[in-house]
Amino acid sequence: MSDHSWNSSGSEEDQDPELGQPVEFGGVLSKWTNYIHGWQDRWVVLRKNTLSYYKSEHEREFGCRGSLCLSKAVITPHEFDECRFDISVNDSLWYLRAEDPEHRQQWIESIELHKTTPGMDTVRHLQQQQEASQSCNNAESGYGSESSLRRHGSTLSLTSAASGFSATSTSSFQKGHSLREKLAEMETFRDILCRQVDTLQRYFDTCSDDVSKDVFQRDKVVEDDEDDFPSTKPDGDYLLNNSSKEKLCSQVNLKEANGIDFKGEAITFKATTAGILSTLSHCIELMVKREESWQRRLDKEMERRRRTEDAYKAALSELKKKPHYGGPDYEEGPNSLINEEEFFDAVEAALDKQDKIEEQVMSQSEAKCRGLLSIPMTPGDSHSTISTHRYSTKPHSHASSLSSVELVSASDDVHRFSAQVEEMVQNHMTYSLQDAGGDANWQLVIEEGDMKVYRREVEENGIVLDPLKATMSVKGVTGHEVCKYFWDTTYRYDWETTVENFNVVERLSDNAVIIYQTHKRVWPASQRDVLYLSGMRKVPATNESDPDTWLVCNFSVEHDNAQPTNKCIRAKINVAIICQTLVSPPDGDKEISRDNILCKITYVANVNPGGWAPASVLRAVAKREYPKFLKRFTSYVQEKTSGKPILF
């Protein structure tokens, strides 16, 4: 992590006098990305109640990669890791690590300060949202509008109500045109019925008024008759007085003015009500059918929800069974939440996936190789097939750098690690070539053909330090060739599938280099790196019967240019490959060919992986991977040397 992991435009307690909030500041924090890439350095900025992160400080102009609003954030310092703290907002969870506990505390205090002090922009934004929400509520409720107080016609109300359906609601009624038609008929009947009721009401009102007037006039006529008898004509007819004439004329006018066909209106009213009842009956039938349809839909929806809930519960239960797919709390560590069995299953699944990827790459390379080899070569094009080898991924610009290495003795190869190299070589030549089959401390764990793999179980402070020894024979190659391809970094990516990247830190001599190497991560194990000195040497023969012997020795060292980091666990190694060339005399005067040579290989490895990986997992991985590595590497050497001059 960068030393300058805390940059601010002011002190931690400074606040903007106008906005009343802390000023913006940023720094470098390690953020947990995923179980493949683990912890990665990110530029984190705290500004206006928001925490954002960028890939780096120089890439801020390209926009942030994520942000959290701190209003409802929960900040949790880690229980065991003094540099780590977690921030959660609803379903979002960030795992962050500071450079040291002091920086972690500074970040937590500043985040809390921003969390409790919202900026004016945030306040204005909230006010605007509140006003907009209130305005929308008023508009939807219709308060303050004249139209909300106006009573619409029934047909218009039906139309507006139908047009107010959402797209989903409208589509759900597409199969119910009959119901809508019957509802429209109901509206028509209602209008007709209202007009008929109004007509009949006017008729009844008029009749009532006429009856009242008639009673009044009759009483008045009786009174007048008592005072003034009618006169008669000579022929005997009565003569009416003036009041009687007015009464008679009034009755005639009322009868003419109220000439309503009451019987017809009554029949029409009866027909209208019958039509309404019939339409209502039809509507009820349609609604019952629709209710059955909706009930079936509801049953299907409830069944779908039940299946979804069951699937969710099953997934949740499965997730609880496999917690290693979570965050950094489930990776390798002293307080990991993952148990040993789950750790082993996860590692095995990851290794299987890598094997499948390697098989796909190899098959594609072989197909490409066959395609290129089918192209006829032109005379003089003797190097056109170099890049078609199935292991080749790039041209080897330094392929000849080791083929011309002089046979350097220990006295000629002098550097500051010479004494340490000499001690390692002597130890390996003394102990590594001893037969492990008769030693009770060694256990034979793998036997495939002439390849045998032995292991001696050793633990120190809970860490597996099992020494491993493997022996095998390879036809058609020499010990010098095997050691050359094992030592030369030019070919490293061709046969080593566990290495993510490496670089030569220092070249001590022509046959000794210091290499820094990081290995691919296998979740939930932490990523490992190793810094080691790699030296190749020919072992002088003590007598004429000794076979031609070459050795490559790799052992851990320290270097100022490759210090340990918190991203990887630094492993310690002491590995050697000892190759002895055995030659059978050819028949007659024939020259020695590759059919006459055999390379006896002894591979020893003492590895301290460090960390907290379970012992059973480390032993299972070693038992699985070492034989695969030996077979893959020796096959590679055989194919690289096939058809080439023998290098003794």
From CA 406, how far away is CA 383, in angstroms rounded?
Answer: 25
Res 454: pLDDT: 92
Mean pLDDT per 10-residue segment, the chain (648 residues): 47 47 80 80 89 89 86 88 90 89 91 69 52 47 34 34 36 50 75 78 78 72 54 48 48 50 73 80 81 87 92 77 61 78 83 82 69 46 33 36 35 79 91 75 88 88 85 94 94 89 92 94 88 94 87 95 90 95 85 91 93 85 89 93 88
d(CA 237, CA 485): 155
- Name the 3-class secondary structure at 186: helix
Contacts of range 444-453, beta carbons closer than 8 Å, 24 or more positions apart: 445/623, 446/470, 446/623, 446/626, 446/627, 448/627, 451/627, 451/630, 451/631, 453/623, 453/626, 453/627
What is the structure's pLDDT at 142? 38
Rounded to whole angstroms, the Cα distance separating 14 from 11 reads 5
pLDDT value of residue 137: 45
Listed residue (178, 428, 434) closest to 288, CA to CA: 178
pLDDT at 320: 59
In this structure, how many other beta carbons lie within 10 angstroms of the beta carbon of residue 468?
A: 20
Residue 395 pLDDT: 37
Q: How many angstroms separate the first and last alpha carbons of the chain? A: 48
pLDDT at residue 410, as a whole number:
39
Cα 118 to Cα 16, 113, 230, 392: the distances in Å are: 12, 9, 105, 59
* pLDDT confidence of residue 513: 95
State how far Cα 359 lies from the chain centre.
Answer: 27
State the Cα–Cα distance between residues 487 and 383, nearest whole angstrom: 24
Please tell me the distance from the alpha carbon of residue 409 to that of residue 581, in angstroms, as a whole number: 19
Q: String of b and e for 201-225 (b: at least 16 CB within 10 Å)?
A: eeeeeeeeebeeeeeebeeebeeee
Q: Count Cβ atoms below 10 Å from residue 149 Cβ, excluding itself.
A: 8
Which DSSP category does 99 fall into? Answer: S
CA distance 415 to 234: 172
